[in-house]
Amino acid sequence: MKQPVQRYLVGLIAFVATVTLITHGVTTTLIALVVCGAVVYGDRILAAWSRRPHPRPRTGPRPERMRARPLVAESAGHDLVPDEPSLILTPAEF
């Protein structure tokens, strides 16, 4: 009994999504489809969520954090404007 009702509900959601897409736009339709999918397949989502392996807490020492140079050191002598006038583009050249 559950499968025919679920199939009917999925067809109804597809129809409503099409009407919503035409009248309200893509963003509203995507939000509505996510909510409808969570309602229709909520039992499967919860079952899969409870069966997933939980991460074990880390044991042992943590690796040392990587250090990066500050960006100021890299841009010390580089100008963003070319010295030669032929390399400067104007809007007419696009």
Establish how many alpha carbons lie within 13 A of residue 67's alpha carbon, considering only the half-sphere containing its beta carbon.
Answer: 2
Query: Is 43 domain-assigned?
Result: yes
pLDDT tens-digit readout, 31-41: 888 887 888 78
pLDDT tens-digit series, residues 13-72: 888 888 888 888 888 888 888 887 888 788 888 888 888 777 777 777 887 887 776 666
Residue 65 lies in a domain: no
Would you say residue 30 lies in a domain?
Answer: yes
4: in domain:
no
What is the b/e burial string over 66-92, where b = at least 16 CB atoms within 10 angstroms of the residue's CB?
A: eeeeeeeeeeeeeeeeeeeeeeeeeee
pTM of the model: 0.40
Would you say residue 36 lies in a domain? yes
Which of 34, 38, 33, 57 lies closest to 49, judged by CA? 38
How many domains would you assign to the chain?
1
Domain membership of residue 28 as a residue range: 24-53
Specify if 31 maps to a domain: yes
The answer to whether position 90 is within a domain reads no
Domain membership of residue 14 (yes or no) is no
Answer whether 13's CB lies under 8 Å from 33's CB. Answer: yes
